[in-house]
A and B are shown apart, each in its own frame.
Chain A
Amino acid sequence: MKLLFDRIDEPGLNTLPVYEARGGYESLRKALAMPPEAVLNELEASGLRGRGGAGFAMGKKVSFLPKGAMDKYLVCNADESEPGTFKDRELMQKSPHMLIEGLIIASYAAGANRSFIYIRGEYVLQADMLDAALHEAREQGYVGENILASGHSLSLVVHRGAGAYICGEETGLLDSLEGKRGNPRLKPPFPANQGLYQGPTLINNVETLATVPTIMRMGGDQYAKLGVETSTGTKLVSVSGHVQRPGNYEIELGIPSREIIYGLAGGPPEGREVKCWFPGGSSSPVLTADELDVPYDFNSLAEVRSMLGSGAIIVVDDSTPILDVALKVAKFYRHESCGKCTPCREGTNWTVKMLERIDSGEATPMDLEIMASVQEHIMGNCLCVLGDAMAMPISSMIVKFREEFEAHMQAAQARARADLGVADAALTAADALSAEGAAAHA
């Protein structure tokens, strides 16, 4: 069933005439004819959960905004920087009006009169598409003062970022949108109460907002019949890595993961096996080949101690050492840590150094233990969850691939010895010294 991706490659879909010809902006008309509370009811009834990563119920989030006359804001999170994720890109590029329509409806339900789409700066083409579509929508009176004579007004600005993963975190995004460094803020206060410019703010992912017109068209109850109970509807899944047909697929939530990885994306190349896979972007704990039959939905993935996250499946086959995967992941988070809080800033840096040492044959036997404990020390102790986003997958790799890490370590040591031509005995002494040094070093 295709809802968001229905005939997504239809020529000209990015323009208003084509979008309108297939019923575009009818949902907006329908919504504006209802009181905002009724629109909110539909959203709540749909069971739609946020598609950006945290999976929070969209309708509930809208209902958290205070009522009454005040400046309220709606911000669309189009930063899409979670490694492996590229679904919002395809939507914005090919069907920008769907996002704009959903955003207007959501702003109506939330009582917000100013809105922004924060799009990552690298998405030049997509931002241009949005700007062009926004221009059309404005001309047509869908955006601006007194939309379709409903009394609801909305301004919309497409705001381009400049390259920082942390600006996808909602409060980092708000600071960035205010023209600051994109450091996350302390919560509470939550954006629903004090967000952009200190005003109540609703933040939703592109896909979440783009689903809203569909919900209005079908009715919340009908939409809720799709998928499974706790994960309703369809979901765009970005599949990448070692698969034969990488790309975006729209699936009904709750189908077996294997069906996505093998059925849709074609599975790993001929002769290769799945070694591990990230079900929800590089921040999600890895799952193994044994876990391919887990239903692809929020709760089922949580039950196997991972998460659906942004809906980005990265498949790693047996040709790649787990250490390379861990190192790539850790380096990414080290590079993207904003540096504001200690465990994340120092912990990501330290983890990279330990992994590098394992790879170069300089690891001490304690290093895996230390690395696991460092991940524990990061998790739950940071200001935002970027730190956890490294610690969770790395932890899962240490647990699930401990033997491979150990073998890698030993092989690397042997290689290093051979390279240096040092006698084993001398080295053992040096290693012992370094282990001792590690314990005594204060």
Chain B
Amino acid sequence: MPRPQARTITFTIDGLEVQAPENAMLVDAAKHGDVEIPVFCYEPKLGQPVGACRMCLVEIEGIPKLQTGCSTPVKDGMVVHTQSERVKEAQNAVVEFLLINHPLDCPVCDKGGECPLQDITFGWGKGTSRFIEPKRHFVKPLELSPTIAIDRERCILCYRCVRFSQEISEDYQLVLQERGAHSYVSTFDGHPYVAPFSGNIVELCPVGALTSRAYRFRARPWDIEDSGSVCTLCPAQCNVTLTVRDERVMRVLARQHPEVDDGWLCDRGRFAYPRLGGDERVSEPLLRDGGELRPVSWERALEEAAAGLKRAGARTGALVGGQATNEEGFLLARLMREGLDSPHIDSRVAGTLPLELQRELGDPSLQAHVSDLEFAHAVLLLDTEPIEDAAILDLRLRKGVRRHGMKLVRASSEELLNKQAAGELVKTLKAAGEEIVVLWHERLTAGPKGAEAARALLDLATTLSLAGAENSGLLEIPAQSNGRGLREAGVLPNASPGLGAPADTGNAAEGLDALGIADALIKGELSAVYLLGVDPLEDSSSLPVWSRSHSPWEQQRPLWEQALERASTVVAHATFLTEGIREHANVVLPAGAYAEKEGTIVHPDGRIQRLRPAVARLGSTRAEWQVLAELAERIGLDLEVRNGMAASQQLFDAVPFYAGLTLEEIGGKGIRWAQRETAAGVASS
């Protein structure tokens, strides 16, 4: 589907000639001339403007009535006034109207200090009110859900929250009831508003009517600092702003990125943060002593870990979890291969896939963008349920269907492997149009038929002529958050960094994959295992819904239970003291949560994104690169990293298609390496 393109026009606003994209809404066009038109209900993320609040009224020459700037597209030669007496009077009036039933309880309102209603009242209101009747007062706040409180006195009925529920997440749970001045935001018959993306309404609310129950009264805007980072709780890697007070994350907000999250967050990303600073965190090194894990010094822990690994040597395996950065995975892979001569390291849950298949699947010309999900004629969901696998993509797909009539098709790899079914599938997809994205999950490549399915997927891409085509391509959701980055960093048993051929470790070129490692541990062929940011036995089902994540290792759990039981050394480099680690680790080295880390990760579409530490590390936790370097040193390997930046630099140098990359270039918005000149590196290597 062609993406909207606008030519530039010139219009006049408050006497100033300004250039802006044609048909941009006046409120947006005005920004090009540094003119601010106040808005409440306008939020382009929510779709078509509704024109409800009337805050944005402006005067347009040639039109007798004042017009809403949020719904009037700018045209060439338009002459607009936002400062005339008429406009000012209308603005004053709307502010006055909005405040007549507003409690003005700013001193005890969470929104105070970052409240559009306060700002607009200050900027565009008259400063007085002539309303002397009693205001509405009643019980507040009330629970709307386990995570959200509602304070109906403060609601200005801007429609944002209900539009979100109805038009964005399409759950139709949050609605307005009654009409006129009696209208209020509510749910059906007292049911709570629990939905995968419900938390976005807190951020959308322009007043303190919807607040996060976890954040309520925890901080005032002047106590806090904002820090941009990336959520690593699932492969969607939404961009976030962390609200920090006293070295604690108090709140997670969306940091809009049109190519990643479109400005939304799922409830897990938004509400699971208390766990980041919670009781389950490992904050100091632990050593198993008489069956119990006890705190010890770093010296002691590192000694013990190094000793255990050295003892096992090439009989060590390593498993890397999806929260690990590229740098962490890269350094661990070096430690394994160069320090221990062991190639047995894996980050894929699905098992090994032949290298040439991995390269072909990663071919830059085949990679779809996230925004293609919206503009393609059809999207095929192959072996995936986006809401489970990378939640935020669910909203993007809904948007595509709703706004652009994109056709959504679901299929499994079994159908792909069946000639007839595959033929039908191609027909269905082609009937929708030429531009097609296949969104597929790593699980497609699992099991004995994995390679065959991957080949069939590539054939499908050829049949559909996806390579290089507009709004088309393949997009893989890896099983683990940073699955793609870890593979590119060489955290695979059969590849060196950049999906190159594996260097011979002296022991073997190709190592065992995750299942192989577990198997070998059980059989005693391997005796030690390093768990970096992963607990294959983790089970989060006891957590509240919005903190729950389903572990990609679930299916392998029985196997790993035996494997960890048998292993003589289990070194866990871990953030949380989860079941497997509590039961089986000999040494636990504390690791940071994403809010504390620095480094890079790679989004499923090849966008390299940067994590930035927002809060200090917990307790005596040390940077992961540092721990790995110190451990390597004790094993007799100098990794030559003296700081986090050096780790990144080493990685960029090692991966051919990252060549020349710098952290500055990645910046706050990330960069898709497929769009850099060095991209050619991958297919040819």
- Identify the A interface with B (CB < 8 A): 164, 166, 181, 186, 334-343, 345-350, 353, 357, 364, 366, 370, 377, 380-383, 434, 437-442
Contacts and interface: CB of A to CB of B under 8 A. Distances in A.
Given A186-B68, A336-B180, A381-B66, A343 B54 contact: yes
Nearest to B51: A186
A341 B53 contact: yes
A44 B101 CA distance: 49
A442 B68 contact: no
B130 A366 contact: yes
Contact of B52 (A364, A370, A383): A383
B157 A339 contact: yes
Contacts of A348: 180-181
Contacts of B157: 339-340, 342, 345
Interface in B60-114: 65-66, 68, 71, 89-90, 93-94, 96-98, 100-101, 104
Contacts of A186: 48-51, 68, 71
B642 interface: no
B94 A343 contact: yes
Contact of B130 (A342, A343, A438): A438
6 contacts: A181-B179, A186-B49, A345-B180, A350-B97, A434-B132, A441-B129
B664 interface: no
B180 A334 contact: yes
Nearest to A188: B71
Given A342-B94, A346-B98, A441-B131, A164 B179 contact: yes
Interface of B: 48-55, 57, 65-66, 68, 71, 89-90, 93-94, 96-98, 100-101, 104, 127-133, 156-157, 159, 176, 178-183
A438 B131 CA distance: 7
Contacts of B66: 380-381
A345 B159 CA distance: 14
A388 to B, nearest CB: 10
Given A441-B128, A442-B128, A181 B97 contact: no
Give the dominant DSSP class at B's interface. loop
B145 to A, nearest CB: 23
Nearest to B157: A339
Given A339-B182, A342-B55, A350-B100, 4 more contacts: A342-B98, A383-B51, A441-B131, A442-B128
Contact of A346 (B90, B101, B128, B182): B101
B97 A346 contact: yes
A338 to B, nearest CB: 5
A341 B129 contact: no
Contact of A349 (B65, B104, B181): B181
A233 B194 CA distance: 59
Contacts of A338: 179-180
Nearest to B126: A442
A164 B179 CA distance: 10
Contact of B90 (A341, A377, A434, A437): A377
Contacts of B130: 366, 370, 438-439, 441
Contact of B179 (A337, A349, A441): A337
B53 A342 contact: yes
Contacts of B129: 441-442
The 6 A-B residue pairs with the shortest CB-CB distance in the complex, in nearest-first order? A377-B93, A346-B97, A339-B183, A337-B180, A186-B51, A349-B181
B94 A381 contact: yes
A341 B71 CA distance: 14
A381 B93 contact: yes
B182 to A, nearest CB: 7
B47 to A, nearest CB: 12
A182 to B, nearest CB: 8
A343 B97 contact: yes
Contacts of B132: 364, 434, 437-438, 441
B253 to A, nearest CB: 27
A357 B156 CA distance: 25
Contacts of B55: 342
Contacts of B156: 342
Contacts of B182: 339
A406 B85 CA distance: 30
Contacts of A335: 180
A338 B159 CA distance: 13
B349 to A, nearest CB: 45
A340 B52 contact: yes
A142 B51 CA distance: 41
A346 B100 contact: yes
Nearest to B40: A342
A357 B132 CA distance: 10
Contacts of A381: 54, 57, 66, 90, 93-94
Contacts of B94: 342-343, 381
A380 B98 contact: no
Contacts of A366: 130
A350 B96 CA distance: 11
A362 B101 CA distance: 20
A380 B51 contact: no
Nearest to B104: A442
B52 A341 contact: yes
A235 to B, nearest CB: 27
Most buried by A among B97, B98, B129: B97
A337 B178 CA distance: 11
B181 A345 contact: yes
Contact of B181 (A346, A364, A383, A434): A346
B133 A357 contact: yes
Most buried by B among A164, A339, A364, A441: A339
Contacts of A346: 97-98, 100-101, 181
Contacts of A350: 97, 100, 131, 133
Nearest to B132: A438
Contacts of A166: 179
A439 B128 contact: yes
A337 B93 CA distance: 18
A335 B181 CA distance: 8
Contact of A383 (B48, B54, B96, B179): B54
Contacts of B98: 342, 346
Most buried by A among B50, B96, B132: B132
A366 to B, nearest CB: 7
Contacts of A364: 132
Nearest to B65: A380
Nearest to A344: B180
Contacts of B51: 186, 341, 383
Contacts of B93: 343, 377, 381
Contact of B97 (A357, A377, A383): A377
A437 B129 CA distance: 10
Most buried by B among A166, A343, A347, A437: A343
Contacts of A440: 128
Contacts of A383: 51-52, 54
B100 A340 contact: no
B434 to A, nearest CB: 25
Contacts of B68: 186
A370 B51 CA distance: 26
A346 B100 CA distance: 8
Contact of B54 (A164, A342, A353, A438): A342
Contacts of B89: 377
Contacts of B181: 334, 337, 339, 345-346, 348-349
A439 B130 CA distance: 6
A164 B159 CA distance: 20
A341 to B, nearest CB: 5
Nearest to A434: B132
Contacts of B53: 341-342
A377 B87 CA distance: 11
